[in-house]
Amino acid sequence: MPTKFTTTLIGASIALVSTTVAAFAGPLQDRIDAGETIRIGFANIPLWGYPDEAGNADGFTNDIAIETLAKMGLTNVEPVVTDWGGLIPGLKAERFDLITGGMYILNSRCENVSFSEPVAKSGDGVLVAAGNPKNIHNYSDILDGGHIMVTGAGYNTVEAAKKVGIDDAHLMQVPGPTEMVAALKAGRADAAILTYFEASHLADDHEEIELGDASKMPDWSMNFAAIGFRHEDQDFLAKFNEALAGYIGTDEMMAKVADHEYTENHLPGDTTAEWTCANR
């Protein structure tokens, strides 16, 4: 897993390919028409979206976004890495043109972000000390036991923890996965909750921690990830969704994302962004 953050990473391509895609309204299309890059914002999140050793955009949500753009004839992309908590503010401030990296569609986020149709579904996972001495497998176990939970600032898990009644005194927020693992190892937190993809990956990498029983997580913790755009780019988003519909779940896509542990079980099915905004 990459651990070095980079403020600005240039990757993928330096030339804008000629395209027959119809003109879109909005600031993103203005940048494209001017020959500027499409800036993809993401954090350093295992499997979902992260910079590889060469500084290029890696992870399955980046793969899906970049390949969908390529289907539109757009390959002049510029990956930009930031802290997770800076993704939505950066999008709104026009530092990025779209955001990836495992951004779940949540009602609270839909106020600030226009999401593509879902590209993946995933539940949450619990990381605990090896042997799980406090028998923690879900949010309720943390609440009932008065334990300390650590998660990422801006993660969906912050909302989820507060939904079940975990108060700020028992909820530690840190920048990302590296800090979550450090809190667990130091005994400053009893459990870390993050996406199952991240949790499983980290458990494999650190023998001092293990993954709780995912079957004991509540059904409502299953979420749907998508690519986020500014509200002003609705016409571009519609074209992106059209290209995405022809790519999601294809043999080509599944081969591309296989190295990131994405399987058919993670396909979003018929779930739409509209439904998810209203129900998550």
Range of the domain at 180: 124-221
3-state class of 98 per DSSP? strand
Q: From residue 99, how far is each of 25, 108, 148, 249 by CA, in Å?
A: 19, 16, 30, 21
Nearest in space to 10 (alpha carbons), one of 76, 62, 69, 60: 76
Are residues 102 and 128 both part of a single domain? no
Are residues 70 and 201 both part of a single domain? no
Average pLDDT over residues 222-242: 96
The reply to whether 21 falls in a domain is no
The reply to whether 12 falls in a domain is no
126 or 17: which carries more pLDDT confidence?
126
The reply to whether 176 falls in a domain is yes
Are residues 169 and 246 both part of a single domain? no
pLDDT of 8 higher than 70: no
CA gyration radius for the chain? 19
CA atoms of 186 and 41, how far apart (whole Å): 31
Q: What is the pLDDT of residues 69-125, one digit of tens each?
A: 999 999 999 999 999 999 999 999 999 999 998 899 999 999 999 999 999 999 999
Q: What pTM was computed for the model? A: 0.76
pLDDT of 204 higher than 60: yes
Instruction: Please count the residues of the chain.
Output: 280
Are residues 213 and 230 both part of a single domain? no
Are residues 201 and 233 both part of a single domain? no
* Count of structural domains, the chain: 2
CA atoms of 203 and 127, how far apart (whole Å): 7
The reply to whether 238 falls in a domain is yes
Are residues 98 and 229 both part of a single domain? yes
25 or 174: which carries more pLDDT confidence?
174
* Percentage of residues of the chain with pLDDT beyond 90: 79
CATH of the domain at 132: 3.40.190.10
Of the ranges 11-25, 34-48, 227-241, 242-256, which one carries the lowest mean pLDDT score?
11-25
Reading the block at residue 92, the tokens are 């709104």
